Chain A
Amino acid sequence: MGIPLYWWLAVAAALFCLGLYGALSRKNAIGVLLGIELMLNAVNINLVVFWRYITPQALTGQIFAMFVIGIAAAEAAAGLAIIIAAYRQRDTVVVDELDMMHW
């Protein structure tokens, strides 16, 4: 156990911030989706690290991470399908132009 816990947490936080920045700043809907995937993976790192460092005898952290990966895959599929549908409908994948859900 050479590497201390907070290093891993720092990496996960950095990755989360990158993802958040991408999700907030990208114009392309696919970029936003990618940012979200990055944030999910940052969370996964956290889950696995906490399991490994704090409760190695229980499987909860690992199982949780597996569920998140599965859900992220499904979310990517559904998200891409929505983006394709939106593109067909509106001829654009720029999120600022997909703003019909307002007053």
Chain B
Amino acid sequence: MGFFFNLTPFVPLFPLLAFAVIILFTHRNNRLSSNIAIGGITLSTVIAWGIVAATIAGGERTRTEGWQLSIPWLPAGTSVLDIGLAVDGLSAAMLFMVPFVCLMIFIYSQGYMNLGKANQDPRYARFFAYMSLFAAGMLGLVVARDLLFAFISWEVMGLCSYLLIGFWSFRNRNTEDHIDEAQVDRAKKAGLKAFITTGIGDVLLLAGIALLYSYTGTLTFRELFQPETLAALQQQTLLGMPAVTVIALLIFGGAVGKSAQFPLHVWLPDAMEGPTPVSALIHAATMVAAGVYLVARTMPLFIAGFDYTSAPALYWVAIIGAITVLLGATIGLAQDDIKRVLAYSTISQLGYRMMGLGLGGVVVGIVHLLTHAFFKALLFLGAGSVIHGMEHGHHAMSHHAPGDLAESREDESFNANDMKQMGGLRHRMPRTVWPYLFGTLALVGLAPFAGFWSKDEILGEAFVGWQHTLAIDHHLLVWLAGTVGVFLTALYMGRQLALVFWGRPRHQAAAQAHESPNSRTVPLMILAGFALVGGFANAPFLGSPLHHFMADIHQASHLVNVAATEFNFVVAGMSTILAVTGLLAGWLLYRNYQAGQVEPFKRYLGPVFTVLERKYYIDEFYQLAIVQPVVWLADQVFNFDYRWVIDPFVNLVAAIGRWAADISGVFDSVAIDTFLVEGVARAFNAAGRWLRYTQTGRVQNYLLVVVVTVLMLVGLYLYL
């Protein structure tokens, strides 16, 4: 089994090769391109699962120390920056999920981008190239041995995220007759927003990495987490805190950006402008989980010397996580766009993971990451199926009334993503509704679905931790936020289910919606299977197998050593009751909702609902507090450049130059040209005019001149 480890480099390499081949050679052949992408990720999946099997078979030593490969990458003077790959229990757990979810989504995308149909996406092959590059980045991060390679992969993912969010900002005007200009504009802005917002986090992360390297001279995880290295980092003081805490907070800054935590969460909902498979893969299952993975990976830095006042790295992780859970869940209550609800749900669930990590629980965070990846990818793909069904229905509607074709094209009120125009789709899309229901139950955390186990583990750990201290600390905070979050999650998912699948169609398109073909529903069903059973991988009554698989990776640092959480009936019972209540409440309030009515939440919550609908005005606040000042500053700089200082100065210099040139030109034309150049010529001309009379052409004249001249010379010689 061990030889699978030697194939580790190929895990990120195959998708990378697929990207290169598609971009360079096969981008004209759409079917071939997507098959290459799927082939690449399939090979990665096979190898990755081989590695998982080898890790399981390898016993404890393989799980904790694992396998590694180091390549001297950048020799810089006396030190060499190494880059490398490593596999241990944590990587292996991720390697089980990432390539497989990628594969499911790639297969789904083939149908989603309408391969071989009339409305096939004009940049179909490019889509698969980007997706492959993204897969390479994510897999690279998972098998990274050091922060350097992790950062490179991290940025590759950021780039792909940007490209794919803005994927529909380049619609080809020649091949498409109907272009939604507003959507193109939104896609452009969303891509930029994501890139810039995560960029803030990336800068912090890079600063953290640079600091770490300057203190320790290494970026390899295993060397960093040696107890003596961590102790040395604790001794150093920076900004009134131990250096290790500053570094941990900077790394967490990177994770806040990538994992869409408050206050950098604003990009994720807008990222839903991208194609739905992108939302599922990048913005639900993998890339947004990268921040969680990175924090889990560098957990010893967070824990080193932790206390609430002087080294509060972990505390902040928990606080930010708790804020994000409540923020995402409450905003999710008031959104109408089916994908945006899921996006806020993702933000909220990412908050759960951060809370889990904030308790020092590497395992609980990662387990929730894994289960969430499956069921949130499932929910997004289901939403994509619903959206396609709605668009199909809208299309069919136009066909049934050919005379109204032009009119229905003008139907601006139709929005395939708007849940308020759906309704009753469980009859129209019977193969989508069941997987979607499974995903929902997993998300709200009802036993035995995956989310139940992973979420309750986080809450249980918080509750048990609080019982030990009975103080108002981060354990209590996490438990309260998490428990309220469970209710809110159930409430918005109940609302969504009732609006989308139950009730009566509220738009003609919903009444004529079509079920999606197998290429889309089969991945849904496979993922639904995982949503059902995925949680058992770490179920307490099975002995928490995943826990033992991953928990010991930070053993070497002697800091992280959390025992597996006991199953706690108080916690589980409470969250189950809240989840059922929430689902029922959402369903009861919204099942009879009619088009045009004021929606129930709005009736009961009033102005609070408006605040939620407008997402706490955070976007507006950023617009006011950051974007506008930056734009203003840019304007001033522009004015400084073009109007006030630089350009006028340049023009002044130019004017002086021209003036000097004019003077010099006059001098040239008068003094040099007229007097010297032309003057000499004129003098010679005049002299020639006079002297030519001596050239008579008569031989005897010339001879006479000679004689006279000689006589004169002789005379001069004789008498002088």
- Report A's interface with B, CB cutoff 8 A: 20, 23-25, 32, 95-96, 98-103
Q: Which residue of A lies closest to B691 (CB)?
A: A103
Q: Count of chain B residues with Cβ under 8 Å from any Cβ of A?
A: 11
Q: Which residue of B lies closest to A29 (CB)?
A: B699
CB contacts (< 8 Å) of B700 on chain A: these are 23-25, 32, 95-96
Cβ distance A85 to chain B, nearest Cβ, rounded Å: 15
A-B contact pairs, 17 of them (CB 8 A): A20-B707, A23-B700, A23-B703, A95-B698, A95-B699, A95-B700, A96-B698, A98-B697, A99-B696, A99-B697, A99-B698, A101-B695, A102-B696, A102-B698, A103-B692, A103-B693, A103-B695
CB contacts (< 8 Å) of A99 on chain B: these are 696-698
Which of chain B's residues 691-719 have a Cβ closer than 8 Å to chain A? 692-693, 695-700, 703-704, 707
Cβ distance A73 to chain B, nearest Cβ, rounded Å: 21
> In the bound complex, what is the Cα–Cα distance between A24 and B698 (angstroms)?
11
CB contacts (< 8 Å) of A23 on chain B: these are 700, 703
Q: Which 5 A-B pairs have the closest CB atoms?
A: A102-B697, A99-B697, A103-B692, A101-B697, A102-B695
- Report B's interface with A, CB cutoff 8 A: 692-693, 695-700, 703-704, 707
Cβ distance B710 to chain A, nearest Cβ, rounded Å: 10
Cβ distance B556 to chain A, nearest Cβ, rounded Å: 109
Q: Is the CB of B695 within 8 A of A98?
A: no
CB contacts (< 8 Å) of B696 on chain A: these are 99, 102
Cβ distance B691 to chain A, nearest Cβ, rounded Å: 10
> In the bound complex, what is the Cα–Cα distance between A102 and B696 (angstroms)?
5
CB contacts (< 8 Å) of A98 on chain B: these are 697, 699
CB contacts (< 8 Å) of A101 on chain B: these are 695, 697
> In the bound complex, what is the Cα–Cα distance between A24 and B693 (angstroms)?
19
> In the bound complex, what is the Cα–Cα distance between A102 and B691 (angstroms)?
12
> In the bound complex, what is the Cα–Cα distance between A100 and B697 (angstroms)?
6
Q: Is the CB of B697 within 8 A of A24?
A: no
CB contacts (< 8 Å) of A102 on chain B: these are 695-698
Cβ distance B684 to chain A, nearest Cβ, rounded Å: 15
CB contacts (< 8 Å) of B698 on chain A: these are 95-96, 99, 102
CB contacts (< 8 Å) of B699 on chain A: these are 32, 95, 98
Cβ distance B301 to chain A, nearest Cβ, rounded Å: 103
CB contacts (< 8 Å) of B704 on chain A: these are 24
Cβ distance A87 to chain B, nearest Cβ, rounded Å: 15
> In the bound complex, what is the Cα–Cα distance between A20 and B707 (angstroms)?
9
Q: Is the CB of B703 within 8 A of A24?
A: yes
> In the bound complex, what is the Cα–Cα distance between A103 and B688 (angstroms)?
11
Cβ distance B701 to chain A, nearest Cβ, rounded Å: 9
